[in-house]
């Protein structure tokens, strides 16, 4: 993979009414035709995504959504899809046509931004078609808005600068492992290569942890579980062992108790979501009743090894652990149910293909509906009675 995965890019979504110029604004900002521009209302159907480097901020992905005021039959589906984008939006741009200030639609969308905790900015488009008086009146009303003409490419650079400034506010560097192990420290990454491992490659969470070690000057040794014992001898003092959750039991026995041990999915529970919420969620396993309904959510549909963990191993282990017959529903792919109250617990994968915002929204929604949520690594550590050990590294 030669580019930053979309899951690691800031998601900037462009909202606004149909024909306010969202698509032409995106095209002007990225300097190429990404979205189809038409004067016919409702031309943008599915949200269009465009990854780019927003220098000097970094990797972002722009999402051009359909108009939120489309009342046609097809429009309802488009609006629904655009609203779903809210769940993964890190920053929103609301585009308003300076000639059609639709206050109701604007306020409704700002309400959604607040609901999903999305920082945002307002862009008033088509300034080239406004008289000096109209421009002045709008400026008085929308003091923080940026006025542009996407058609004439007026103020596009100013808009980009302001976007970078606002994106950078409160921005802290996210790391998977870099704050847990000192630079020059030593880590062993345990990656079992069995029949379930994908042929010829290492899965994304493992690749990303390795890259994070390199970024932070952490020396890493990548081994299979079968070579772990000799790796421990080679390395002398080790600062941390990170293992695939499926090998928790065996690895826990091999790693001396004075060496911290955790799992890739537990690192991801913190990096992509909320480790404390997912740990609190797993403790509710003790309260599961006979026939409790469990949702297993996995964010990609073609991952062989994870399919086996989610569909087979976790259900089997959980029934054995609780001694109860449980009902399982499997949700594979990017979708997540809107209605969660039917479930007694949600067990999510490590979510390496999702951006942090999506996972946080899923956690927040689950908690609002009173449904405990945890992830694969946390529950496997819990059922192997090694959760406390796998959390020690975060308490140091
Ligand atoms: S199933 Fe989840 S954790 Fe596994 S590769 Fe897919 S998104 Fe990542």
- Kindly list the domain boundaries of the chain, sorted by start residue: 6-168, 186-267
CA distance 125 to 154: 10
CA distance 49 to 88: 12
Average pLDDT over residues 370-375: 97
Model's pTM, two decimal places? Answer: 0.79
Could you tell me what percent of the chain has a pLDDT over 70? 91
Query: Which of 300, 310, 334 most suits a substitution to test ligand 1, by most atoms within 8 Å of the C-beta?
Result: 300
CATH code given to domain 6-168: 3.40.50.300
| Whether the predicted pLDDT of 256 surpasses 60 | yes
Alpha helical stretches, state H, 283-355: 304-308, 314-322
CA distance 121 to 165: 11
Phi-psi region of 314 (alpha: psi -120 to 50; beta: other; left: phi over 0): alpha
Task: Give residue 214's pLDDT band: very low, low, confident or very high (50, 70, 90).
Answer: very high
Question: What token pair was written down for 230?
Answer: 């000799």
Q: For the CA atoms of 352, 357, 362, 364, what is the dihedral angle to 10 degrees?
A: 140
Q: Decide whether 6-168 matches 186-267 in CATH topology.
A: yes
Most confident of 9-13, 186-190, 331-335: 186-190
Task: Give residue 110's pLDDT band: very low, low, confident or very high (50, 70, 90).
Answer: very high
Could you tell me what percent of the chain has a pLDDT over 90? 64
CA of 325 from ligand 1 middle (Å) equals 27
Average pLDDT over residues 211-235: 95
Q: Options 3.90.220.20, 3.30.460.10, 3.40.50.620, 3.40.50.11420; which CATH number does 186-267 get? A: 3.40.50.11420
Average pLDDT over residues 79-86: 82
Pairing of strands 48-54, 58-64: antiparallel
Report residues whose beta carbon is within 6 angstroms of any ligand 1 atom.
203-205, 298-300, 303, 306, 349-353
For position 56, what pLDDT does the model report? 87
Task: Give residue 44's pLDDT band: very low, low, confident or very high (50, 70, 90).
Answer: low
Average pLDDT over residues 128-142: 93
Higher pLDDT, residue 246 or 35: 246
Beta-carbon contacts of residue 370 (< 8 Å; ≥ 6 apart)? 341
């Amino acid at each position: 993979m030669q580019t930053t995965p979309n899951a690691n890019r800031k998601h900037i979504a462009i909202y606004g009414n149909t024909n306010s110029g969202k698509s032409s604004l995106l095209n002007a900002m990225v300097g190429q035709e990404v979205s189809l521009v038409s004067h016919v209302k409702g031309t943008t159907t599915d949200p269009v995504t465009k990854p780019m480097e927003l220098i000097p901020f970094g990797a972002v992905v722009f999402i051009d959504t359909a108009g939120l005021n489309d009342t046609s039959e097809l429009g309802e589906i488009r609006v629904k899809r655009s609203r779903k984008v809210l769940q993964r939006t890190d920053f929103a741009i609301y585009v308003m046509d300076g000639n059609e200030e639709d206050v109701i639609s604007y306020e409704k969308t700002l309400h959604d931004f607040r609901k999903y905790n999305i920082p945002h900015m307002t862009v008033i488009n088509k300034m080239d078609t406004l008289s000096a008086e109209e421009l002045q009146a709008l400026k008085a009303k929308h003091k923080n808005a940026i006025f542009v003409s996407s058609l004439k490419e007026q103020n596009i650079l100013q808009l980009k600068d302001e976007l970078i400034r606002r994106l950078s506010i409160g921005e802290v560097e996210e790391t998977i492992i870099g704050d847990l192990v000192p630079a020059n420290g030593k880590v062993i990454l345990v990656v079992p290569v069995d029949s379930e491992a994908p042929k010829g490659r290492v899965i994304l969470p493992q690749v990303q942890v390795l890259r994070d070690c390199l970024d932070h000057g952490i020396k890493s040794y990548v081994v299979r579980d079968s070579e772990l014992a000799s790796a421990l001898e080679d390395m002398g003092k080790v600062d941390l062992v990170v293992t695939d959750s499926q090998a928790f039991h065996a690895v826990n026995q091999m790693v001396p108790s004075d060496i911290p041990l955790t799992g890739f999915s537990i690192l991801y529970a913190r990096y992509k979501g909320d480790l404390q919420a997912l740990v609190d969620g797993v403790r509710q396993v003790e309260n599961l009743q006979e026939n409790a309904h469990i949702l297993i959510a996995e964010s990609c549909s073609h991952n062989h090894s994870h399919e086996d963990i989610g569909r087979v191993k976790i259900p089997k282990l959980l029934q054995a652990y609780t001694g109860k017959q449980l009902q399982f529903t499997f949700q594979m792919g990017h979708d997540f149910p809107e209605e969660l109250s039917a479930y007694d617990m949600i067990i999510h994968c490590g979510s390496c293909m999702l951006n942090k915002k999506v996972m946080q929204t899923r956690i927040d929604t689950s908690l609002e509906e009173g449904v405990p949520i945890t992830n694969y690594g946390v529950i496997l550590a819990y059922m192997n009675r090694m959760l406390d050990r796998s959390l020690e590294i975060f308490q140091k």
